[in-house]
Amino acid sequence: MTAEQDDPLRPHSHDSNPEPPSPDSHFTLVLPDGRSRIITLADLYRLPVATVSNCIIVSTGHGISGPFTFTGVTLWDFVMAYWPGTWTEAEVVSADGFGNRVFVAEARNASSSGPIILAYGVDDTRLTRRQGVVRLIVPGERDDALRQVKWIGKIVIRDR
Protein backbone atom coordinates (compact mmCIF):
# COMPACT_ATOMS: atom_id res chain seq x y z
CA MET A 1 0.00 0.00 0.00
CA THR A 2 1.17 3.53 -0.68
CA ALA A 3 1.35 6.12 2.07
CA GLU A 4 -1.65 7.88 0.58
CA GLN A 5 -3.79 4.71 0.66
CA ASP A 6 -2.84 4.20 4.31
CA ASP A 7 -3.76 7.75 5.27
CA PRO A 8 -7.22 7.86 6.90
CA LEU A 9 -7.38 11.53 5.88
CA ARG A 10 -7.09 10.56 2.20
CA PRO A 11 -10.05 8.12 2.09
CA HIS A 12 -10.88 6.23 -1.10
CA SER A 13 -14.36 5.07 -0.21
CA HIS A 14 -16.84 6.12 2.40
CA ASP A 15 -20.56 5.97 3.18
CA SER A 16 -21.57 9.52 3.90
CA ASN A 17 -23.00 10.28 7.31
CA PRO A 18 -26.24 12.31 7.06
CA GLU A 19 -26.38 13.60 10.65
CA PRO A 20 -24.29 16.29 12.36
CA PRO A 21 -22.16 14.80 15.15
CA SER A 22 -22.82 17.81 17.43
CA PRO A 23 -25.12 20.85 17.42
CA ASP A 24 -22.42 23.52 17.49
CA SER A 25 -20.45 24.89 14.55
CA HIS A 26 -17.35 25.99 16.44
CA PHE A 27 -14.14 24.01 15.98
CA THR A 28 -10.67 23.67 17.44
CA LEU A 29 -7.62 25.00 15.61
CA VAL A 30 -4.29 23.41 16.53
CA LEU A 31 -1.15 25.28 15.44
CA PRO A 32 2.27 23.79 14.59
CA ASP A 33 3.67 25.05 17.92
CA GLY A 34 1.04 23.06 19.80
CA ARG A 35 -1.12 26.00 20.83
CA SER A 36 -4.83 25.61 20.21
CA ARG A 37 -7.89 27.82 20.23
CA ILE A 38 -11.60 27.66 19.51
CA ILE A 39 -12.77 29.18 16.22
CA THR A 40 -16.36 30.37 15.98
CA LEU A 41 -18.43 31.50 13.00
CA ALA A 42 -17.95 35.08 14.23
CA ASP A 43 -14.19 34.60 13.84
CA LEU A 44 -14.64 33.39 10.26
CA TYR A 45 -17.00 36.28 9.38
CA ARG A 46 -14.19 38.72 10.25
CA LEU A 47 -11.90 37.31 7.53
CA PRO A 48 -11.98 38.22 3.80
CA VAL A 49 -15.02 36.72 2.06
CA ALA A 50 -14.45 34.27 -0.78
CA THR A 51 -17.07 32.76 -3.07
CA VAL A 52 -16.73 29.75 -5.35
CA SER A 53 -19.34 29.14 -8.04
CA ASN A 54 -20.23 26.02 -9.99
CA CYS A 55 -19.46 23.59 -7.15
CA ILE A 56 -20.84 20.10 -7.71
CA ILE A 57 -21.14 17.60 -4.87
CA VAL A 58 -20.77 14.11 -6.32
CA SER A 59 -22.49 12.26 -3.51
CA THR A 60 -22.35 8.51 -2.91
CA GLY A 61 -25.71 8.65 -1.16
CA HIS A 62 -27.89 10.72 -3.45
CA GLY A 63 -26.18 11.32 -6.77
CA ILE A 64 -24.89 14.64 -8.01
CA SER A 65 -26.16 17.88 -6.44
CA GLY A 66 -25.50 21.45 -7.41
CA PRO A 67 -24.13 23.50 -8.96
CA PHE A 68 -23.80 25.55 -5.77
CA THR A 69 -22.09 28.83 -5.00
CA PHE A 70 -20.35 28.45 -1.65
CA THR A 71 -19.27 31.41 0.48
CA GLY A 72 -16.66 31.46 3.20
CA VAL A 73 -12.98 32.16 3.71
CA THR A 74 -10.15 30.59 1.75
CA LEU A 75 -8.20 28.03 3.73
CA TRP A 76 -5.10 30.04 2.79
CA ASP A 77 -6.42 33.29 4.33
CA PHE A 78 -7.67 31.40 7.37
CA VAL A 79 -4.33 29.78 8.13
CA MET A 80 -2.45 33.04 7.45
CA ALA A 81 -4.68 34.87 9.94
CA TYR A 82 -3.77 32.49 12.77
CA TRP A 83 -0.38 31.13 11.71
CA PRO A 84 1.80 33.50 9.65
CA GLY A 85 4.70 31.03 9.81
CA THR A 86 5.49 28.16 7.49
CA TRP A 87 3.25 25.13 7.25
CA THR A 88 3.04 22.07 5.03
CA GLU A 89 -0.43 20.64 5.51
CA ALA A 90 -3.76 21.05 7.23
CA GLU A 91 -5.75 18.15 8.65
CA VAL A 92 -9.44 19.02 8.47
CA VAL A 93 -11.44 16.61 10.61
CA SER A 94 -15.06 16.31 11.61
CA ALA A 95 -16.26 15.16 15.02
CA ASP A 96 -17.66 12.07 13.25
CA GLY A 97 -14.07 11.09 12.36
CA PHE A 98 -14.29 11.91 8.65
CA GLY A 99 -11.51 14.16 7.44
CA ASN A 100 -9.19 15.29 4.73
CA ARG A 101 -5.58 16.39 4.41
CA VAL A 102 -4.87 19.53 2.40
CA PHE A 103 -1.30 20.30 1.37
CA VAL A 104 -0.05 23.88 1.45
CA ALA A 105 0.40 24.05 -2.34
CA GLU A 106 -3.25 23.11 -2.82
CA ALA A 107 -4.33 25.91 -0.50
CA ARG A 108 -1.96 28.49 -1.97
CA ASN A 109 -2.59 27.78 -5.66
CA ALA A 110 -6.29 27.76 -6.49
CA SER A 111 -7.28 25.11 -9.04
CA SER A 112 -9.03 26.22 -12.24
CA SER A 113 -12.29 25.42 -10.40
CA GLY A 114 -11.50 27.86 -7.57
CA PRO A 115 -9.78 28.05 -4.18
CA ILE A 116 -10.27 25.66 -1.28
CA ILE A 117 -12.55 27.36 1.24
CA LEU A 118 -14.07 26.93 4.68
CA ALA A 119 -17.70 27.53 3.75
CA TYR A 120 -20.42 28.97 5.99
CA GLY A 121 -22.85 29.96 3.22
CA VAL A 122 -24.42 28.49 0.11
CA ASP A 123 -26.33 30.32 -2.63
CA ASP A 124 -26.83 33.52 -0.59
CA THR A 125 -28.09 31.75 2.53
CA ARG A 126 -26.22 30.45 5.53
CA LEU A 127 -25.40 26.77 5.48
CA THR A 128 -27.49 24.89 8.03
CA ARG A 129 -25.76 22.66 10.53
CA ARG A 130 -27.23 19.66 8.71
CA GLN A 131 -25.72 20.92 5.44
CA GLY A 132 -22.37 20.87 7.16
CA VAL A 133 -21.43 24.29 8.49
CA VAL A 134 -18.47 24.79 8.73
CA ARG A 135 -17.77 22.81 5.55
CA LEU A 136 -14.54 22.31 3.62
CA ILE A 137 -15.09 22.90 -0.09
CA VAL A 138 -12.47 21.57 -2.48
CA PRO A 139 -13.67 22.78 -5.90
CA GLY A 140 -13.19 20.37 -8.77
CA GLU A 141 -12.92 17.29 -6.54
CA ARG A 142 -14.98 14.49 -8.18
CA ASP A 143 -13.97 11.56 -5.96
CA ASP A 144 -17.45 10.98 -4.44
CA ALA A 145 -17.17 14.15 -2.33
CA LEU A 146 -14.45 12.56 -0.23
CA ARG A 147 -12.78 15.94 0.38
CA GLN A 148 -15.95 17.93 1.15
CA VAL A 149 -15.70 17.61 4.95
CA LYS A 150 -18.91 18.60 6.72
CA TRP A 151 -19.08 19.67 10.39
CA ILE A 152 -15.42 20.57 10.80
CA GLY A 153 -14.51 19.83 14.41
CA LYS A 154 -10.77 20.32 14.28
CA ILE A 155 -8.15 21.76 11.96
CA VAL A 156 -4.57 20.77 12.72
CA ILE A 157 -1.91 22.82 10.94
CA ARG A 158 1.37 20.93 10.56
CA ASP A 159 4.86 22.01 9.57
CA ARG A 160 6.76 18.82 8.77
Ligand X SMILES: Nc1nc2c(c(=O)[nH]1)N[C@H]1C(S)=C(S)[C@@H](COP(=O)(O)O)O[C@H]1N2
Residues interacting with ligand X, by CB under 6 A?
14, 16-17, 57, 59-61, 65, 94, 96, 98, 144-146, 148-151
Least Å distance between CB 64 and Mo ion? 11
Q: Which stretch binds Mo ion (CB under 5 A): 19-27, 44-52, 55-63, 120-128?
A: 55-63
Pairing of strands 152-158, 27-30: parallel
What is the smallest separation between the CB atom of 33 and Mo ion, expressed in angstroms? Answer: 34
Nearer to ligand X, 22 or 88 (CB): 22
Write down the least CB distance from residue 21 to ligand X, Å.
7
Shortest Å distance, C-beta 43 to ligand X: 20
3-state helix, strand, coil in the chain (%, to 5): 15, 40, 50
Paired strand residues for 137: 117
User: Taking CB within 5 to 8 Å according to partner kind, which of Mo ion, ligand X, none is near residue 51?
Assistant: none
Separation between Cα atoms, residue 108 and residue 117, nearest integer Å: 11
Q: Which is nearer to ligand X, 101 or 150 (CB)?
A: 150
* Maximum pairwise Cα distance, the chain: 43
Compute the half-sphere exposure of residue 82: CA atoms within 13 Å on the CB side of its CA. 27
Among residues 135, 106, 130, the alpha carbon closest in space to that of 120 is found at 135
| 21 backbone dihedrals φ, ψ, rounded to 5° | -75, -15
Please choose which of Mo ion, ligand X, none residue 37 contacts, taking the beta carbon within 5 to 8 angstroms, the exact cut-off set by kind: none
Report the distance separating Cα 125 and Cα 80, nearest Å: 26
> What is the number of the residue whose Cβ is closest to Mo ion?
60
Nearer to ligand X, 146 or 155 (CB): 146
Told to check if 149 binds Mo ion by CB under 5 A, we report no
Using CB under 5 A, list all residues that contact Mo ion: 16, 60, 144-145
